[in-house]
Amino acid sequence: MKNRILAYSSLCIWFIVAIFDIRFIEALFSTFYVGDFFTHIKNNLLGFCFDTTYTIPGALLVLPLYLLSSKIFPKATNTIFRILLCISLYIGLTLVSFYAKAQFPLDRILFLYSLSEIKETIINSGLAPWWMYLIYILYPIVFFYATKIQIELKKFVLIPVISIIALCGTIRITCYDNSIENLSYPEQCNKACYFVSSIIEGNTLNNFDKETIYKNAKTFHSYFPERIFKSQKCPFLHEKDTTSNLLPFFDLQEKKPNIVLIIVEGLAKENSGKYSTYTTATPFLDSLSEHALTWNNCLSVSQRTAGVLPGTLGALPFGRGGFMAYKKDAPDFYSLPKFLKENGYDFSFYYGGWCGFDDMSHFIDLQDGKQCFEKNYDTTSQRNNWGLLDKFLFKEAINNIDFSSEKPRFEVYMTLTSHDPWEYPQKEQYVSQYIEKTNEQKAKQNPDKIAAASYLYVDESIQQLIQDYSTHEGFENTIFIITGDHNFNINTFILERYHVPLIIWSPMLNRVKEIPAVVSHRDIPASITTMLSKQYNMKQPESVSWINSQLDTSSTFRSTTFAPQIDVSRNVVSMIYNQYYVYENTCYNIRYNKNRLQLHKVKEKALNDSIKNLLNTYKYLDLYVCSCNALIDSTNIYTSRKELVHKDFRNFRDYFPQGKLDTANIQDEYFNLLSFKLKSGHKLLGPFFTCQYTLANDTIVQDPMLVIKVTDTSSTQIFWEAYPIKMEYGTWQTFDFSNAMISLQQYNKKGNVLDLFIWNPKQIPFKITDLHVGISEVE
């Protein structure tokens, strides 16, 4: 027994030595990408103290397993455990390598991406230097052979080991700090423990019973007395705004304006604008802001790109993993593109990369947007790893737009050139230009000058885009909205991680204003819809689900918005509520001093608890509305519907002679419901289908599906969607597909045929009754 314990203790000491070495390796890797080596060493030495306090309890827990194994496999146990320790070192080095590159610890976000997205990220992020791969491969192998040497636990070894452990424990207790002020915590934390704890936290389940939902809805509503809420079942639904903050700033023309939204990858206040932290790298945008509406304190809703489209287009909730991650299972929602399309606009989305990343393509499809340029460009001068370079994207877009069309346009651009690994044309020239600007302005230079200089390229691209627009018809009737999606630097002050520019410019602006009020990406949809509705009497639902106020145009600093935010793991961790900011368990007052946002802790315990309670209540309701399709009352989204065809299957004997009068026994592979010939000019179509059904026996292999199919005049299938009819034996269930509006507008050509049918590929026997089916259209 004694020898086995000594052997195990020797392995533990070797493992602690390895953990220390990995901390040194992490500092080395991090220094290659960004920062100062001695700063990284200091943070990792403190982190080693945290590692040790995790390792010792873990070793004690594993000891019984080692002793049992050594009794059963006396010769093999040491080798097995050495192999397991090597595997753990590979995992540790992987997590360290990820942190060094991304500058944030890997967490459960790994499981939110598909294999295709992970592959896309790895391929496009660029290769590490050869010596990193060498260390990664060789170190665990060296460790495996080193652990053959058993360390004798004599006094001269034992005393320093115990002293080091005691010192680490003391430092852990006195210095542990994961608060908002400790910007070094992501580097100091144990990467493996962080990864595991994020998975556990992310998989917390919620029970959405009626009593709890209504209780939380009532609590949430109490924080917004100015809103007239319509429902507890749909807790975010409230009466729309009727006045517009933006309208007084525009001399709008008789014709509806074109709207152009430009979202710049990674563009933050850190590198852009009059009050940038470092040398501003956007001279054109800076000059444009002098003739525009410019918000100095705009905050994004996400630390990564996944949140920007749902935020700017719909002020949408996040759910589990971000709204776009729900794909076609997203709850019914209303958005700026849906509003514009219902009122005669064309909606186009321009992105030079793979639109499947972050599930953007599904989100755009749900709003019937036209996706452009999702293709490969073989010419290396036109693209980098992520896709089409911004200048070429903009030029392709200009060539693609039909400027002669009478229909107003809503165009959304997402850039991608200013993305790690920062591959853009004439890089050395732009870096030199950035250094020269730093010297001229006597400003602070961004430590990552290659990343900062990429915005000089993007800035020129945007300038060229607007100049190209100015040569085409309709330019004088166009509104440009320019913002960033997030800050790349997440190891900075918490608000700076979300702090992005926001510029609205148009030839129709009647005045210029620099606005210090705090606003959010989520304020954009309400601002645009209200302005256009007010000016053009455009159709809009009576109730909307965005809680946000409009973009605040106050001349003095204030914060009146509501903006929950997600971190890199897509967890809701912070929130702006009026003048308060709550981050995890602490509430702060938002202040503005010397053109910088500042946070000051709220000392009143009751107020602190109240704001934290709002965040927790919102998090519950946010997940509820996404999980239970309770964001909006979809039956009341649209102003009116016209029924094109309606069919009731009341007499099933016409279809199944062997069945009862009001019930059909279905076991065929296909059950045709209706076939409808489309005409050009139909507006937004909504197939509807309701029934009662039950399984005929308790055998289920695959659920039947409701299928919507469109074929063209040559009988070629051009649209196909299937919706599972979930089966359960022993009870009659309701299938209701009556509220959703499936966008089929692009298929509304004369002679095309829309078919609805039940597809039962495994020919599962089930009974169906009270069946109603048809098609309606929005008027």
Which of the two residues, 144 and 180, has the higher pLDDT score?
144
Does the pLDDT at position 637 exceed 60? no
Q: d(Cα 256, Cα 407) in Å, to the nearest integer?
A: 9
Alpha-carbon distance values, 182 to 178, 300, 302 (Å): 6, 21, 20
Residues whose CB falls within 8 Å of the CB of residue 653, separated by 6 or more in sequence, listed in order: 659, 661
CB 559 within 8 A of CB 578: yes
Structure confidence at residue 155 as a pLDDT band (50, 70, 90): low
pLDDT of residue 330: 87
Tokens 């300038």 belong to: 463
E strand or H helix at 544: strand 543-544
Q: d(Cα 29, Cα 98) in Å, to the nearest integer?
A: 10
CB 85 within 8 A of CB 141: no
pLDDT of residue 233: 86
Helix axes 449-470 and 390-400, enclosed angle (nearest 10): 20
Long-range contacts from 610-617, C-beta under 8 angstroms, 24+ separation: 611/577, 611/580, 611/582, 611/587, 612/582, 612/585, 612/587, 613/219, 614/220, 614/223, 614/575, 614/577, 614/582, 615/564, 615/572, 615/574, 615/575, 615/582, 617/216, 617/219, 617/220
CB 605 within 8 A of CB 593: no
pLDDT for 35-78, tens place per residue? 778 888 888 888 887 787 777 778 788 888 888 888 888 888 88
Structure confidence at residue 638 as a pLDDT band (50, 70, 90): very low
CA 493 to chain centre: 21
**Any idea what DSSP says for residue 461?**
H
Between vectors from CA 124 to CA 119 and to CA 126, what angle results, nearest 5°?
115
Tokens 């005929």 belong to: 696
Backbone φ and ψ of 348, nearest 5°: -125, 145
% of the chain residues with pLDDT over 90:
33
Q: d(Cα 46, Cα 175) in Å, to the nearest integer?
A: 8
Does the pLDDT at position 448 exceed 50? yes
Which of the two residues, 577 and 360, has the higher pLDDT score?
577
CB 255 within 8 A of CB 477: yes
Q: Please, what is the average pLDDT of the chain? A: 83
> Would strands 409-414 and 478-484 be described as parallel, antiparallel, or unpaired?
unpaired
E strand or H helix at 15: helix 2-33
Q: d(Cα 740, Cα 183) in Å, to the nearest integer?
A: 45
Residues whose CB falls within 8 Å of the CB of residue 131, separated by 6 or more in sequence, listed in order: none
Structure confidence at residue 682 as a pLDDT band (50, 70, 90): low
Does the pLDDT at position 617 exceed 90? yes
Q: d(Cα 345, Cα 337) in Å, to the nearest integer?
A: 8
pLDDT of residue 3: 76
Peptide bond just before 257 cis, omega within 30 deg: no
Alpha-carbon distance values, 589 to 575, 604, 724, 758 (Å): 12, 11, 49, 57
CB 629 within 8 A of CB 738: no
Q: What is the dihedral of CA 562, 306, 400, 417, to 10 degrees?
A: 110
pLDDT for 102-130, tens place per residue? 777 877 666 666 666 666 666 666 677 88
Query: Closest by alpha carbon to 77, among 88, 87, 65?
Result: 65
**Any idea what DSSP says for residue 436?**
H
pLDDT for 456-490, tens place per residue? 999 999 999 999 999 999 999 999 999 999 988 87
pLDDT of residue 657: 45
DSSP string, 485-537: S--S--SS-GGGGTEEEEEEE-TTB---EEEEEEEEGGGHHHHHHHHHHHHH-
Does the pLDDT at position 220 exceed 90? yes
Q: d(Cα 750, Cα 768) in Å, to the nearest integer?
A: 33
pLDDT of residue 379: 58
pLDDT of residue 123: 62
Does residue 337 come out as left (phi exceeding 0), alpha (psi in the -120 to 50 range) or beta? Answer: alpha
Does the pLDDT at position 136 exceed 80? yes
Structure confidence at residue 231 as a pLDDT band (50, 70, 90): confident
Query: Closest by alpha carbon to 758, among 668, 665, 670?
Result: 670
Total Cβ atoms within 10 A of residue 398: 15
CB 8 within 8 A of CB 66: yes
Q: d(Cα 637, Cα 511) in Å, to the nearest integer?
A: 35
CA 695 to chain centre: 39
Residues whose CB falls within 8 Å of the CB of residue 701, separated by 6 or more in sequence, listed in order: 762, 764
Does the pLDDT at position 263 exceed 90? yes
Query: Closest by alpha carbon to 189, among 109, 92, 113, 108?
Result: 92
Which of the two residues, 332 and 202, has the higher pLDDT score?
332
- Three-class secondary structure of residue 710 per DSSP: strand
Which of the two residues, 447 and 428, has the higher pLDDT score?
428
pLDDT for 639-668, tens place per residue? 455 777 877 665 555 544 444 455 677 777
Structure confidence at residue 161 as a pLDDT band (50, 70, 90): low
Alpha-carbon distance values, 574 to 563, 619, 675 (Å): 9, 10, 50
Residues in the chain: 779
pLDDT of residue 728: 77
pLDDT for 711-726, tens place per residue? 888 888 888 888 888 7
Q: d(Cα 417, Cα 440) in Å, to the nearest integer?
A: 26
Helix axes 210-222 and 605-627, enclosed angle (nearest 10): 130
pLDDT of residue 778: 59
Residues whose CB falls within 8 Å of the CB of residue 189, separated by 6 or more in sequence, listed in order: 47, 50, 105, 178
CB 724 within 8 A of CB 663: no
Question: Rounded to two decimals, what is the model's pTM?
Answer: 0.72
Structure confidence at residue 256 as a pLDDT band (50, 70, 90): very high
Q: What tokens appear for 517 in the block? A: 């009020």
Q: d(Cα 50, Cα 661) in Å, to the nearest integer?
A: 73
Structure confidence at residue 169 as a pLDDT band (50, 70, 90): low
Does the pLDDT at position 315 exceed 70? yes
pLDDT for 535-576, tens place per residue? 998 888 888 999 888 999 999 999 999 999 998 878 888 999
Which of the two residues, 317 and 327, has the higher pLDDT score?
317
